[in-house]
Amino acid sequence: MAILSLQSVSKSFGALKVSDSVSFEVQPGEALGIIGPNGAGKSTLFNLITGNIAPDQGKVLLDGRDVTRLPPMERVRAGIGRSFQIPQPFVHLSVYENLLVAARFGGEVGAAEAPGFCMDILAQTGLAAVAEKPSGGLPLLQRKRLELARAMATKPRVILLDEIAGGLTDAECGELIATIKAIHAEGTAIIWIEHVLHALTSVVGRLMVLNFGRMLMIGAPDQVMASPEVREIYLGIEA
Amino acid sequence: MTPSRPLGLIAAFAALAVLYALPAIAPRALVQDLFGVLTLLVLALNWNTLAGFAGLVSVGQQAFVGIGAYAMFAAIILMDLNPLVGVLIGGLAAAAFALPMAFFAFRLNGAYFAIGTWVVADIARLGISQWKALGGGTGTSLPKGTAKDMAFVDRIKAALDVSSAAAADALTYWLMLTLAVAMLVAGHVFLRSRMGLGLQAIRDNETAARSVGVDPVRLKALVFLLTAFGTGLCGALAFIQITRVTPDAAFSVIDWTAFVIFITVIGGIGTLPGPIVGAVIFYALQRLLADYGTIYLIVLGCLGIAVMLFARRGLWGVFTGRTGIDLLPLTHRPPKSAAPQPQASRRTA
Ligand SMILES: Nc1ncnc2c1ncn2[C@@H]1O[C@H](COP(=O)(O)OP(=O)(O)O)[C@@H](O)[C@H]1O
Ligand SMILES: [Mg+2]
């Protein structure tokens, strides 16, 4: 059974249709990439999946169960973890405490195991050295890593990553890819919105293209990128 | 950790020892004065957790003081129970009232929440005024000798060689002091617990908190309930010492909420030692300006406004900011052993 499934999900902001009858499925352990121009409705799609925004129409199913009416905190506990495109750290808490909240609540990790569990993730995401720093003072790169680390700490079965590779150097991007591959290798399903195409295609098995809230195509990355329609939009992004 | 922290703790314990010894060494008037200050401190510790940590700026805490006091009076007068059991019943009654109150007030946000709690408190005052068995609008007194007949009063009387009334004052003073210490410890334990961590996350970013599994409404409701219990206990104990209750006195927004807000804001809202600092300043002003009537309240008000404008985290916040000393930090430190070797602990399959 699909771990996550969207059925004709639509959402408008006023006259602007940001999600137009979107339907797709993600299998357990699968990695799906999402591309599309700015304003296409990619982040909104994540918000619909996590429950931060309620759809006007359509359903979101997790393990075949309708979760459309569940609030975000219950969807996290049910296994949907997310990062925010614009990092949203708990600024007065340390990096370590940011993960601790996520592990204790979303991940339902016990008090005894939580410290070691969080430190493992911090090590894996290259944040161990700044564990005790207040997260509010971190530079952008480390904020983005914190988004990833905090999402991991909720013990997701499907993790949603929203543009976490933007603005990284090649070396940093390489590290990030290694981390995401490691998450994937553990069997976590991944949905990853990214403009850095080579990063995306090195991880995902399928690619989805979103444009004006509509799903234009979904399929194998090379097939999708070979489509003239997609090339046109995609060149628009690159330019 | 700074070397000044153990020093601070030693000073705190010394101060506490002096406070406990006070009824044996100080005049009764001082004990009574400090009882009043400690009452405000306990209320401030509760309000600080509510407003400073859970973001619930209630102006209706007098509802819990009043209900706590009246429930205690009912337990003693109508049910003939032990006064200390009455205090406990006062706390429980306040917590019970907090449930429907939260149901109503949690539908409101910000300023509307503040006004909503005030309105509910006033409705409670009007409701209690109808309770004829407890004197209706004019109130009632505890039966003569209730305080003096409490457990231990005889022994305190003999040990300190004072009148029964002074011994009763000493007992209520010790109880209130103990309640203050218990509230401080409970506050610290709670804020360092999983739920306290969740509260701090909500304070920083509610959207992100929900997205990592924290349920804001549930946590805030829990804090509302717990602080109602603490406030009710405090109200009941305060009125054992006062011995007479009226709806206006028990549900006074000035006495039980406005002073408390000033004390918390001046000392440092959202910091654990803040209410203590605020209570000390309140008492110092009261003493210094005792000869000029209620002018200390005007000074207190001005000080409160100045702090709100120029030092949002209060005097304790300024102090920790300048010196780096924090007596009751809420931080969770990462385990030391797991920190190094970023590559080795990678969980790659
Ligand atoms: N909460 C909101 N209210 C109104 N408009 C919004 C809101 N969130 C997003 N939008 C608009 O919806 C469109 C899609 O936004 P978004 O999903 O963030 O796009 P993307 O992530 O693909 O760049 C944009 O035009 C954006 O301005
Ligand atoms: Mg976006």
CB contact under 8 A, B212 and A101: yes
Of B200, B211, B339, the CB nearest to A92: B200
* Residues B200 and B315 occupy one common structural domain: no
What DSSP state is assigned to residue B1?
Answer: -
For an interface test with B, the pick among A105, A108, A113, A130 (most B C-beta atoms closer than 10 Å) comes out as: A105
Residues B277 and B137 in one domain: no
Query: B232, B251, B270: which is the final residue of a domain?
Result: B251
> Which band of pLDDT confidence, cut at 50, 70 and 90, is reported for residue A81?
very high
Q: How high is the mean pLDDT of chain A? A: 93
Same domain, B188 and B303: no
What is the structure's pLDDT at A235? 65
Tokens (6 digits) for A189: 């399903």
A180 vs A192: CA distance, rounded Å: 10
Task: Check residue B144 and give its pLDDT.
Answer: 85
Expressed in angstroms and rounded, the spacing between residue A17 Cα and the centre of ligand 1 is 10
**B346 → closest Cβ in A119, A124, A153:** A124
Distances (CA, A) of B211 to A103, A151, A231, B142, B307: 12, 9, 35, 52, 35
Question: CB burial class (10 A; 0-12, 13-18, 19+) of residue B327?
Answer: middle
Cα(A49) to centroid of ligand 1, in Å? 15
Q: Is residue B337 part of a domain?
A: no
Interhelix angle B164-192/B153-160, rounded to 10 degrees, is 110
Of A111, A122, A132, the CB nearest to B333: A132
Q: Ligand 1 pocket: which residues have CB below 6 Å?
A: A 13, 16, 18, 36, 38-44
**Between A and B, how many CB-CB pairs are < 8 A?**
126
Q: C-alpha distances in angstroms, A189 versus A118, B333, B345? A: 20, 31, 22
Structural domain includes residue B297: yes
B203 & B278 share domain: no
Q: Return the ∠ at Cα B55 (arms to A76 and A144), rounded to 5°.
A: 45
The whole-angstrom separation of Cα A37 and Cα A40 is: 5
Whether residue B344 is contained in a domain is answered as: no
Judge: B197–A120 Cβ closer than 8 Å, yes or no: no
Q: Which is the closest atom of ligand 1 to the Cα of A193?
A: 21
Residue B161 lies in a domain: yes
| C-alpha A44 – ligand 2 centre gap (Å) | 7
A95 and A175 in contact (C-beta within 8 Å)? no
Share of chain A above pLDDT 70, in %: 97
Q: What is each CA distance from B190 to A193, A224, B213, B222, B229, in whole angstroms?
A: 39, 53, 19, 11, 14
Q: Are residues B280 and B149 in the same domain?
A: no
Is there a single domain that holds both residue B127 and residue B161? yes
Torsion, CA B276, CA B282, CA B287, CA B289, rounded to 10: 160
Domain count, chain B: 2
- Interchain proximity A182–B346, CB inside 8 Å: yes
Tens of pLDDT, residue by residue over A178-237, are 999 999 999 999 999 998 888 999 999 999 999 999 999 999 999 998 888 888 877 665
CB contact under 8 A, B211 and A52: yes
Whether residue B208 is found in the same domain as residue B95: yes
Same domain, B118 and B45: yes
B198 interfacial to chain A (CB closer than 8 Å): yes
Q: Does one domain contain both B242 and B132?
A: yes
**Single-letter amino acid, residue A214:** R
Distance linking the first and last C-alpha atoms of chain B: 39
Q: Quick one: tokens of B154?
A: 């005889």
Assigned domain for B212 exists: yes
CB contact under 8 A, A102 and B339: no
CA-CA distance, B249 to B227, in Å (whole number)? 20
Residues of the domain holding B169:
23-251
**Quick check: is B343 in a domain?**
no
Of the three residues B203, B223, B251, the one that is the final residue of a domain is B251
Instruction: Return per-residue pLDDT of chain B as tens, 349 residues.
Output: 455 678 878 888 999 999 999 999 999 999 999 999 999 999 999 999 999 999 999 999 999 999 999 999 999 999 999 999 999 999 999 999 999 999 999 999 889 999 999 999 999 999 999 999 988 989 999 988 888 888 888 889 888 888 888 999 999 999 999 999 999 999 999 999 999 999 999 999 999 999 999 999 999 999 999 999 999 999 999 999 999 999 999 999 999 999 999 999 999 999 999 999 999 999 988 888 878 878 878 888 888 889 888 888 899 988 888 888 777 888 899 887 644 444 444 444 3
Contact at 8 Å (CB) between B129 and B122? Answer: no
Counted residue by residue, chain A has a size of: 239
With beta carbons under 8 A apart, name residues in chain B contacting A108: 213
Report the chain A residue with the minimal C-alpha distance to residue B210. Answer: A73
Work out the burial of residue B122: count CB atoms within 10 Å of its CB; fewer than 13 is exposed, 13-18 middle, 19 or more buried: middle
Ligand 1 centre distance from Cα of residue A45 (Å): 10
SS3 labels along chain A: CCCEEEEEEEEEECCEEEEEEEEEEECCCCEEEEECCCCCCHHHHHHHHHCCCCCCEEEEEECCEECCCCCHHHHHHHCEEECCCCCCCCCCCEHHHHHHHHHHCCCCCCCCCHHHHHHHHHHHCCCHHHCCCEHHHCCHHHHHHHHHHHHHHCCCCEEEEECCCCCCCHHHHHHHHHHHHHHHHCCCEEEEECCCHHHHHCCCCEEEEEECCEEEEEECHHHHHHCHHHHHHHHHHHC
What was the pLDDT predicted at B3?
56
Say what the pLDDT of residue A237 is: 55
CB contact under 8 A, A106 and B212: yes
- State whether residue B209 sits within 8 Å of chain A by CB: yes
pLDDT tens for each residue of A151-181? 999 999 999 999 998 888 888 889 899 999 9
The answer to whether B138 faces chain A, any CB pair under 8 Å, is: no
pLDDT digits (tens, 9 = 90+) for B106-156: 999 889 999 999 999 999 999 999 999 988 989 999 988 888 888 888 889
**pLDDT value, residue B344:** 41
Q: How far is CA B199 from CA B131, B215, B217, in A?
A: 38, 9, 10
pLDDT of residue B341: 45
Domain annotation for chain A: domains and CATH numbers:
1-79+156-239 (3.40.50.300), 88-154 (no CATH)
Select from B213, B332, B335 the Cβ nearest to the Cβ of A154: B213
Q: How far apart are CA A26 and CA A24, in angstroms?
A: 7
Q: Do residues B269 and B275 make contact, with C-beta atoms less than 8 angstroms apart? A: no
- What SS3 state is found at B139? coil
CA distances from B90 to A222, B74, B101, B306 (A): 71, 9, 16, 36
pLDDT of residue B308: 86
Distances, alpha carbon B292 to alpha carbons A188, A202, B286, in Å:
71, 78, 10
Which residue CA neighbors atom 18 of ligand 1 most closely?
Answer: A43
**pLDDT number for residue A238:** 52
For residue A20, what are the CA distances in angstroms to A16, A44, A61, A181, A203? Answer: 10, 11, 17, 31, 27
CB contact under 8 Å between B331 and A154, yes or no, is: no
Using the 3D structure, point to which of B236, B251, B266 is the last residue of a domain: B251
In a domain, B49, yes or no: yes
Q: With respect to residue B345, please indicate whether it lies within any of the assigned structural domains.
A: no
One domain for residues B288 and B225 = no
Shared domain check, B89 and B202: yes
Residue with tokens 């510790």: B45
Q: Check if the beta carbon of residue A61 is closer than 8 Å to that of residue A7.
A: yes
* pLDDT tens readout for residues B299-328: 888 888 898 888 888 999 888 888 887 778
How much of chain B is in helix, strand and coil states, percent to nearest 5? 75, 0, 25
Which amino acid is it at A154? Answer: T
Residue A239: per-residue pLDDT: 41
CA A41 to ligand 2 centroid distance, Å: 7
- Do B217 and B87 fall into the same domain? yes
